[in-house]
Each structure stands twice: as C-alpha cells, then as structure tokens.
Chain A
Amino acid sequence: MIKEIAKVELPFDETLTIKKHRLQPETVSGKEKRISIVTGIHGDELEGQYVCYELSRRIHAERDMLTGIVDIYPAMNPLGVDSITRGIPMFDLDMNRIFPGNKEGSMAEYVAAEAVSDLAGSDLCIDIHASNIYLKELTQVRISEMTAKELVPIARRLNVDYIWVHQAATVLESTLAHSLNSIGTKTLVVEMGVGMRITKEIGNQLVDGILVVMKDLGIWNGEVITPRTPIESEDGNVHFLNAAASGMFLPATAHCKEVKNGELVGEIVDPLSGKVLQKVYSPCDGLVFTLREFPVVYEGSLVGRILAR
C-alpha cells in the first residue's frame, strides 16, 4: 500500500507529498520486523530509484516469501529528483544537513522531521546514495567509526564491494543516518554508481544483498545469494587524488581497476593550448574505487580515490 508521510501545499496548484510503499504479509501479527529503504535525499542521485523498483518487483514476484514489513521511500526530496536538483529547490538546502528536522520549523525541516518519525523504530534502515554527477563510486557502505561495531557485521551481508569506516565529523551529525542511529534505529549509508544515471548491474547487486539482510532479519523467506566478501578499510588506507591544475580530466585507467604504484591514472589537459597540464599517478598499489566522471576540473577537484592494498 502507498502511504503519505508528509504533505506540503505549494503556491501554484500542486501538493508536495513524500510517499512510501509498504509491503507486508497478507496477515500481520504486529510482531513483524521492519526494514526501510530510503533514497532520493539528493535529487541528482538516481541509482536508488532502480533499487526501489527492483526490490519491489522481486517481492511482488514471490509475495508468499515475505514474512516482515518492507517500507520503500523512493524520493525523500521529490521536487529535487524531478527537477535534477541536488538540494531542495526554492531553499538551496542540502536535505542531508537538516536532520533530524523540526516539526515546527520551515517546510524542509518539517519534512525531515516527519521522515525521521516515520523511519524511527525500523529494525534496519538503508539510505542509498549515488555519489554525485562528478564521481563514480564502487558499491560501498560508509560507516562512522562511532557505529562501526554494530553496523559493520550487517554491512558485510549487504553484498557490497567495500566497507569504509570513516572518522566521525560534527558536520555529519545533521545527516539522516546519524539522526536515526542516534535514536537507536540502525542505519547504513550506501554509496554507489554515479549521479543522474542508473546502472542496473550494481542495482541488482544491492537488491541481492538487501534480500540477504532481510532474510537475516526474518523478513524474507525466499532463496538468497551468498553475499560477496567486501574489502574493509579505515581512512588511513584511502588515498585522495586531487587535481593540481584546472582543465579537462581524461582517465587513463578504468573504474574499479587495480593499479600499481606510479601508474598513470589520468591526465589533465588544456583544450585551448593542447598541452598536458598534469599527469596524475597512483601513489600506491591499490584499487581505483572512485574515479572522476565529469571531466571539467578545477585545482582541488577530486579525480579519484585509491584504496591501498
């Protein structure tokens, strides 16, 4: 069933509605476990849209196997998704910096607060992001070191390629994941693919993993895969490659490829003069788990990340 979790009237004959799709067994006892799949906080990240569709499709195909509740929230920021806007249109706000929100606050804060209220109490929440339009990411779960002990074992079951345990940062306390984790609703953040695109392979990979986790929780009784074993690392193993010149970045390697120390990762070139402004080399043997997708770079732009082996 489709439920509305927040509604806001817009000035010109339109209502903004945040919706979720609840899938549950024919009969419920009230003791069922609940998983929530959230995406579309950033309007330019679409990979999660396919995950929502595909998860729903597979559950419908084997409805008898569903033994718990699955809540799917495809668009926390529907105006953003619809208008290819990363933040909330009209407010120029990053929605993932206003959680837990405020029911008495402005429209954006009100919507955030209603979302947190609705998600609170889920046995697990998965917040799916798709990098941005600039960078392509390996399918990964990012976990703050504060919650690593509890969340890493769950993330290992999600069929992702990589688990990145990162340092806690005060600014991230305004995210949905932090807000939910801090009230006891376990929440994993998935980063995958690239903004403004859908990549079916990685979407299917994640759906396979979500079904594994659902089975672990007692929400799904169907056949599931054996999840792949992800690489796990902390910040120290990750090398950032930032542009030292402004120009066009031309990759010399492929995303998710292993490179050697000193191997060429890409070049920054000047289309006007025809000169190479910078050759970007790998600082270590490792995996190119992030690679620049949008070619125009400024000095400082991230062109890749290497996970040292």
Chain B
Amino acid sequence: MRREILFELSSPYRDDFRIRGYQFGKGEKAVCIVGATRGNEIQQVYIAGQLVKRLRALEQEGRVSDGKSVMVVPSLNPFSMNIGKRFWAQDNTDINRMFPGYNLGETTQRIAAGVFEKIKDYQIGIQFASFYISGDFIPHVRMMKTGLENVEMAKEFALPYVVVRDPRPFDTTTLNYNWQIWDTAAFSVYARDTEKMDMEAAELTIESVLTFLGKQKVITYEPTQTAESVVVEEDDLFNIKTPKAGLFRPLVTVGETVAVGQPMAEVIDPYEGEVIEVLKAGQEGTVFFIQDAPFILEKTLAFKMMK
C-alpha cells in the first residue's frame, strides 16, 4: 500500500487541507474508489476505510493482479467532517457539484480539479454516494444515463438492484457524471445509511465491491455475493409523501414487501401525541427508501417504493 497526498491546500487558521489516496498494486489504472464527498457521509468514509484495510491485506497476500492498480480515496472533504458540516467548511459549496473543476477557479473548483486530475484516468470509478434527504436505501448501484453507462458491468456488484436514471442539469457537475464523460465506467453505490455507520450494510457493500473487483480480475477474490441484480428505472419507483407534518414513526423497513392497504408509517402530533395520519401502501411494492428524520414536513418524501 502506498499513501499519497492527492491534493493539498493551506488554510488561514486550520491545519492544511489534505486529500489522501491509498494505492494498491502497480500498473494500469484499473479502479478508483471514492468514499465521502460530503462532510456528513460517515457510512461512506467508513466503508472506504474498511476497503483500504481489506485491500492492504489482499495485497500482502499477493492477490492484487499484476499490472493493475487500485486507488481508494476515503474522503474528499475532511475539513467539513471535522466540524460537522455537509458542504465546504467556509462557503458551503458542494465539492460534488464542482466537477470536473477548474484549477484557476474558486476554492472548491480547485479541489475538484486537483483531485479529478488524479482520478480521471481510471478505467472504473466507484463512488459511495448519499441522497439529499436523510434516510435508508436498499443497497444498490445507481447510474446516470449518459449514453456511456455500463449496466451489465453494474450487475457484477451482485447487489440486489441497479437503478438507472436520466441526468438532470445539476447532475452535470457531479463526479459520477464527469467520470463517465472522461471515459471511466462510473458507479454510485448506495450503502443504506449516511450519517451513521450501519455495519451490516457496510459489510454487504464491502463484499460487493470486492466481488466486483474479483470479477474484473483486478484482485483474486472468490465471489461472496451472488445476487442477480434487477435493473430498475428511477421513473418506475413511486413516491409516498406525507399529507401531514409531525413526528414520523415508520412501521416497515427497507427491503420489506408491503401489501395494498398495509400501514407503513404513522405521523404523530408532537404536542398532543395522537396519530394524525397513517401512511398506507396504495399498491403492493417493495420499500426502496425510507426517510429517517424523526419528524417530517407536509408534502415530503417518506418512502420510495418499487412496484
């Protein structure tokens, strides 16, 4: 394992800002794995760190293939992690909305440009992503339809689902989108949680990534994941929103199949304690996402469901 500083920036009042990369094997740039891009992506940095540990052991056993190199970048934003912010510590801009970056531009454009220069030439890019609403997802691989997406390769993570969706204008400045434009096969992996560590989902994700690397012949690894991925269009997921605001108590878990009319969550009046709304399944489906904030606004996404 070789440690490398991919990008460095001095700060007026803090330690230097550093983005670290961990390199395994030597040879063509096969796979780059990026953990957290935001300061609250704890599950994402945890998984990346555990992958560093696993790859280090595999490398010591001679199981990283000759002529292949793998890079893991656990966090693009350690400054925000240290002060509990999601976005860039000073100006609240989102590094994952700055790609491909601009090395003469503003600070987060420079960070994006500096790190992208180091990771853009890999054949495969894997990013552990998070959603803008706090919640739990079924572990899955997500990719944007740029015309360059490789759905068949995504199935080799052997996660239960691969979700494909049309990019929206603001997606064009994300790491995933720009990796694809620069000819990297890019995959966003959702590992259920964001702001806390979910060990079970983390272990599943780690095994999926190692299984994937094994299938790509980047490492020698007996697949531990065997799921046949189902490809789902984002538009085929349907949303269940809350008609009332209040405390939110889910009654189902992600991955659960619910029947028509089954109660899925209660909304409780926070002052009087009464259940003021019971969210029920309008049709049969599998729970793909649950928002996990303790309270919820009216007209807010509570569940994403798969038919």
Contacts of A106 in B (CB 8 A): 133, 241, 299-301
B88-116, CB under 8 A of A: which get 1 and which 0? 00111000010000001111111000000
From A5-13, A50-58, A69-77, A158-166, give the one contacting chain B.
Answer: A5-13
Separation of A69 and B65 alpha carbons in the complex (Å): 71
Main secondary structure of the interface of B (DSSP, over half): loop
Please name the residue on chain A nearest to B241 by beta carbon.
Answer: A106
**Interface residue count for B (Cβ, 8 Å)?**
40
Question: A11 to B296, Cβ gap below 8 A?
Answer: yes
Judged by a CB distance under 8 angstroms, whether B161 is at the interface is: no
Question: B12 to A247, Cβ gap below 8 A?
Answer: yes
A171-B173, A246-B10 known; A110 and B133 CB under 8 Å?
Answer: no
Judged by a CB distance under 8 angstroms, whether A170 is at the interface is: yes
User: Which parts of B7-57 form the interface with A (CB within 8 Å)?
Assistant: 9-13
Question: A9 to B90, Cβ gap below 8 A?
Answer: no
Question: B110 to A299, Cβ gap below 8 A?
Answer: yes
User: Which parts of A187-201 form the interface with B (CB within 8 Å)?
Assistant: none
User: Which parts of A59-114 form the interface with B (CB within 8 Å)?
Assistant: 86-87, 90-93, 97, 104-107, 110
Question: A91 to B12, Cβ gap below 8 A?
Answer: no
Question: B297 to A90, Cβ gap below 8 A?
Answer: yes
Judged by a CB distance under 8 angstroms, whether A148 is at the interface is: no
A residues apposed to B, CB below 8 Å? 8-13, 16, 86-87, 90-93, 97, 104-107, 110, 132, 134, 170-174, 240, 242, 245-248, 270-271, 296-302
Question: A248 to B297, Cβ gap below 8 A?
Answer: no
Judged by a CB distance under 8 angstroms, whether B168 is at the interface is: yes
Contacts of A12 in B (CB 8 A): 270-271, 295
Question: A11 to B295, Cβ gap below 8 A?
Answer: yes
Instruction: Name which of A92, A134, A247 has the most chain B CB atoms within 10 A of its CB.
Output: A92
Contacts of B91 in A (CB 8 A): 132, 134, 301
Of B86, B172, B296, which one neighbours A92 at CB under 8 angstroms?
A: B86
Of B106, B239, B295, which one neighbours A301 at CB under 8 angstroms?
A: B106
Contacts of A92 in B (CB 8 A): 86-87, 132
Contacts of A302 in B (CB 8 A): 106
Question: A173 to B12, Cβ gap below 8 A?
Answer: no
Question: A10 to B169, Cβ gap below 8 A?
Answer: no
Question: A297 to B246, Cβ gap below 8 A?
Answer: no
Question: A104 to B107, Cβ gap below 8 A?
Answer: no
Contacts of A105 in B (CB 8 A): 239, 301
Please name the residue on chain A nearest to B87 by beta carbon.
Answer: A92
